[in-house]
A and B are shown apart, each in its own frame.
Chain A
Amino acid sequence: MLKLDLNQELVQRSRTAAKQITGAFDWLFEGYSSVAIERTVLRLLGIDGANKEGEPLPNIVIDHLNANSAINKGAAVWVANAMLAKNLSAQEVAEQVSQHKLSLTELPLASAEQLFGVLQPLTQQMLSHIRSQKQKREEMFAQFGARRSPAIYVIVATGNIYEDVTQARAAAREGADIIAVIRSTAQSLLDYVPYGATTVGFGGTYATQENFRIMRAALDEISIEEKRYISLTNYASGLCMPEIAVMGAIERLDLMLNDAMYGILFRDINPKRTLLDQYFARMINAYAGIEIQTGEDNYLTTSDAIDKAYTVTASQLINESFALISGIKPEKMGLGHAYEIDPEMENSFVYELAHALLTKELFPDAPIKYMPPTKFASGNIFKTHLMDAMFNFMGQLTGQGVQLLGMMTEAIHTPHLVDRSLAIENAQYLFKAVKDLNQSLCLAPDSFVNARANEVLQQAVTFLEKVAEEGLFSAMAKGDFAEIKRPENGGKGLDGVFLCDKDYYNPFMQQMKQELGL
């Protein structure tokens, strides 16, 4: 069996440093909330829909509270108070606010006990629905068998949810285990979630609750016919992290891309906003049994895959630590990495073997998310198809959890039906061909692979200890990550972060924390 001999002292130090980095954010997680978190609370209370202009009701209510400088108590308090005073449902309260028939802050505030009495049954109702979705997933896996490893993950990205359904159904029948609906390119920077089914998007399809529902229903149908549970994934990232997480929890998505570090570095989202949003989003994911996936592969699309390999390892360790704080178990942590080494380099496969084994062995219980070659994919689809075969070989050989299949047309367009089918054929061939090869191999004593893995780990430890010393925000401001400078008070979405009042109340977070043992 292929097994690294990792320096255990380094492994220990890497985790200690990561914990020190992520442990420094209690002040943020305990003391602050954001407009996205409050909109999430409204959705959990059952508020949905949009006005005639397409503005979602959760946004209208939060803007209303902000305009009246009342957000610091939390949205749940004001909505419950209006429900009590006017004998309305949460949805009716939101509708009346949007029609300017109701001003939430003009009503006299009921006692904490009374508000609790209104919120308690609503909290139980929604959390019970989310638990039932989790149970349904578990039952279907129990009935049809566990997901294969590496799982076959493909994307659909037509912009039209109904066209996506056609392509997803075909892919699932051909052997895909996980369908990802790629979002429209601008969505990560929208500070609201569009409403309803959508048929126009660019480079992808808008993440909306209705689109989630449509795709989940289609995949449930195929799951039953193919006797294989087909998982669905989307992106709880950008400015609406927890909102999309909760929509996924309600509609039974199975995985969610969820990574604040990615948002800060590659989408220029404010560090405080996104780490805070991620804290609640991951808690929702944990509660709903949703597997998170992180975006470390992005470090290598801009930086050299060998020189900067340690940044992937460092980010994985930070992501693991943040995930633990939110109650996510290792078996639900799809930490990311990518096969992005220059194919012209001699022994590129050998370097990659070291990196892939390092990730696998540092996080033995995590369903590692393995990304395909993209940087060196070109218009030469034949060469790219061959690179994807090497990537699939590596995925099976090193036991990665989720294989995001490379497309031969990666550098040209979002995948056509044929591209995706050929990618699945490629993966199935390689997975089958080298299925048990690992069992018959072992690394030579003093192998390059082992030395290289320890070298990357050493670099990651040095880096993490430096970051732990100066603090994550300060390190990011100095450009220590991905050579991109992101100051603590820069980026998008900072104005949506606010300090909580002493009597702030988020019934869902409180209940989830309790049940998750946080």
Chain B
Amino acid sequence: MSKNIIRPYGDTLNDGKMQISFALPVSADAFGKEAARLLLIQMGFDDAEITGMRDLREGFTHFIAYAVTSAGIDTSKIKVKVVETPVMDMEATDAYISEHLGRKITVVGACIESDAHTVGIDAIMNMKGYNHRFGLERYHGFNAINMGAQVPSEELLARARAEKADVILVSQVVTQKNIHIKNLTRLIELAEAEGLRHKMLFICGGPRISHELAIELGYDAGFGTGTYSTDVASFVAITLAKQLT
């Protein structure tokens, strides 16, 4: 085996042991257990062992299993897209903006379309921020406009145009049936149609958003779980400064 190939680790290097948990619409008995085991075999697992079985009632059963995979990943071939700008704290970012841009950066943010959950956009933008990082409103270098929840894409773009925004910041928390992808795509398509796409940075964030997904959808950057205002502020400041040079 190539030294670059890795497999899941149970208690011995590359033993391929994995824990798996899922439900099936079957009864909690020998028949259901066999169905679960066969599913794992069909998925390519070896040594599939159903270690736990819980009756979920109404004809459903929960299975907990351990199995061995022969699949492996060649680490030399992995490519990931990540936000690569360094992260600065609020004071450093403000100083950077005043030195490199010499003006305030205008950010217009919103939870777009049906999304009513402002917890993400608030954590990044509101004065108090989240977990000891102040939000963009607190920065001297930012003019932060948080439009709140359920803002139609059209309204967000209109406001961004009126404010001559440098950045549009979109949060999507609800992801059921991939609604976040639909909403984010719609915003970008409208921005393209209105000729705004390349006049400002488009950044999205939310628990199921990665930088890679954001790039795929046509955004400049994406921020997932664990993002703080400092991550977003640094990225914006450095990216805008680079555009000037």
By a beta-carbon cutoff of 8 Å, the part of chain A in contact with chain B is: 157, 159, 166, 169-170, 173-174, 184-186, 188-189, 202-203, 266-268, 301-303, 378-379, 411-414, 416-418, 421-422, 425, 483
CA distance A378 to B122 in the complex (A): 18
Q: Are B22 and A418 in contact (CB under 8 A)?
A: yes
Q: Quick one: CB contact mask for B203-241 with A, threshold 8 Å, 1 for yes? A: 000010000000000000000010000000000000000
Q: Quick one: CB contact mask for B98-125 with A, threshold 8 Å, 1 for yes? A: 0000000000000000111111001000
Q: Are B174 and A378 in contact (CB under 8 A)?
A: no
CA distance A157 to B177 in the complex (A): 12
CB contact list, B137-151 vs A, under 8 A: 148-150
CA distance A416 to B117 in the complex (A): 20
Q: Are A413 and B176 in contact (CB under 8 A)?
A: yes
**Nearest residue, chain B, Cβ from A479:** B127
Q: Are A417 and B225 in contact (CB under 8 A)?
A: no
CA distance A418 to B63 in the complex (A): 9
Q: For residue B54, which residues in chain A have a CB less than 8 angstroms away from its CB?
A: 421, 425
Q: Are A202 and B119 in contact (CB under 8 A)?
A: no
Q: Are A159 and B177 in contact (CB under 8 A)?
A: yes
Q: Are B176 and A379 in contact (CB under 8 A)?
A: no
Q: Are A170 and B58 in contact (CB under 8 A)?
A: yes
Neighbour of A418 across the interface among B23, B127, B174, B175, CB < 8 A: B23
Q: Are A185 and B119 in contact (CB under 8 A)?
A: no
* Interface majority SS (helix, strand, loop, mixed), chain B: loop
Q: Which 6 A-B pairs have the closest CB atoms?
A: A173-B57, A170-B58, A203-B174, A186-B114, A170-B57, A185-B116
Q: For residue B37, which residues in chain A have a CB less than 8 angstroms away from its CB?
A: none
**Nearest residue, chain A, Cβ from B128:** A483
Q: Quick one: CB contact mask for B57-99 with A, threshold 8 Å, 1 for yes? A: 1101010000000000000000000000000000000000000
Nearest Cβ distance between residue B116 and chain A, in whole angstroms?
Answer: 5
Residues A267 and B176 in contact in the complex (CB < 8 Å), given A166-B58, A174-B57, A302-B122: no
CA distance A169 to B225 in the complex (A): 33
Q: For residue A379, which residues in chain B have a CB less than 8 angstroms away from its CB?
A: 207, 225
CA distance A189 to B114 in the complex (A): 10
Residues A268 and B179 in contact in the complex (CB < 8 Å), given A185-B174, A417-B56, A418-B62: no
Neighbour of A417 across the interface among B60, B116, B118, B149, CB < 8 A: B60
CA distance A169 to B122 in the complex (A): 37
Q: List 29 A-B contacts (CB under 8 A).
A: A157-B176, A159-B176, A159-B177, A169-B57, A170-B56, A170-B57, A173-B58, A174-B57, A184-B114, A185-B174, A189-B116, A202-B176, A203-B174, A267-B149, A268-B149, A301-B119, A302-B122, A378-B225, A379-B225, A411-B207, A412-B207, A413-B176, A414-B176, A416-B23, A417-B56, A418-B22, A418-B23, A418-B62, A421-B62
**Nearest residue, chain A, Cβ from B132:** A304
CA distance A166 to B23 in the complex (A): 14
Residues A188 and B177 in contact in the complex (CB < 8 Å), given A166-B58, A268-B148, A418-B21: no
CA distance A411 to B206 in the complex (A): 11
By a beta-carbon cutoff of 8 Å, the part of chain B in contact with chain A is: 21-23, 54, 56-58, 60, 62, 114-119, 122, 126-128, 148-150, 174-177, 179, 207, 225
Q: Are B62 and A483 in contact (CB under 8 A)?
A: no
CA distance A5 to B206 in the complex (A): 44
CA distance A170 to B25 in the complex (A): 12
Q: For residue A421, which residues in chain B have a CB less than 8 angstroms away from its CB?
A: 54, 56, 62
Nearest Cβ distance between residue A407 and chain B, in whole angstroms?
Answer: 14
Nearest Cβ distance between residue A404 and chain B, in whole angstroms?
Answer: 17
Q: For residue A267, which residues in chain B have a CB less than 8 angstroms away from its CB?
A: 116, 149
**Nearest residue, chain A, Cβ from B118:** A266
Q: Are B115 and A185 in contact (CB under 8 A)?
A: yes
Neighbour of A411 across the interface among B115, B149, B225, CB < 8 A: B225
Q: Are B114 and A202 in contact (CB under 8 A)?
A: yes
CA distance A185 to B23 in the complex (A): 27
Q: For residue B56, which residues in chain A have a CB less than 8 angstroms away from its CB?
A: 170, 174, 417-418, 421
**Nearest residue, chain A, Cβ from B116:** A185
**Nearest residue, chain B, Cβ from A169:** B58
Neighbour of B60 across the interface among A159, A170, A302, A303, CB < 8 A: A170
**Nearest residue, chain A, Cβ from B179:** A202
CA distance A289 to B149 in the complex (A): 34
Q: For residue A173, which residues in chain B have a CB less than 8 angstroms away from its CB?
A: 57-58
Known: A169-B58, A170-B58, A188-B116. 16 other contacts (CB 8 A): A173-B57, A185-B117, A185-B174, A186-B150, A189-B150, A268-B149, A301-B119, A379-B207, A411-B207, A412-B207, A413-B175, A418-B22, A418-B23, A421-B54, A421-B56, A483-B126
Q: For residue A378, which residues in chain B have a CB less than 8 angstroms away from its CB?
A: 225
CA distance A387 to B207 in the complex (A): 20
Nearest Cβ distance between residue A26 and chain B, in whole angstroms?
Answer: 32
Q: For residue B175, which residues in chain A have a CB less than 8 angstroms away from its CB?
A: 413
Q: For residue B115, which residues in chain A have a CB less than 8 angstroms away from its CB?
A: 185
Name the residue among A173, A185, A303 with the largest chain B CB count within 10 angstroms: A185
**Nearest residue, chain A, Cβ from B111:** A185
